[in-house]
Amino acid sequence: MKSYIDKNTKFRAKDGVTDFDKDFFRLMNNSCFVKTIENMRNHVGVRLVTDEWRAIHLAANPNYKHTTIFD
């Protein structure tokens, strides 16, 4: 991973590189960094259900937290 970031940094430092290329390599570095520090425990699964049977079925799962009814 570090070599990938170093490679992109070298591309950004070259002479004759356009602004688009500089932004592109900067964003590539940022996307790699963000994916490595992303906390998967904070992800939330949301289901929109229109019938009662499906809501009961989903509520029976062990990872079920709560229900919000939109009227």
pLDDT at 10: 78
Q: Is residue 67 part of a domain?
A: no
- Report the domain count for the chain: 1
Tokens describing residue 13: 């430092």
More confident position, 69 or 39: 69
Name the burial class of residue 15, with classes exposed (0-12), middle (13-18) and buried (19+) by CB atoms within 10 angstroms of its CB. Answer: exposed
| Residue 71 resides in a domain | no
Which pLDDT band holds residue 1 (cuts at 50, 70, 90)? low
**DSSP state letters, 6-56:** HHHHHHHHSTT--HHHHHHHHHHHHHHHHHHH--GGG--------SHHHHH
Domain that holds residue 25: 2-59
Q: What is the mean pLDDT of residues 9-36?
A: 77
- The whole-model pTM stands at 0.41
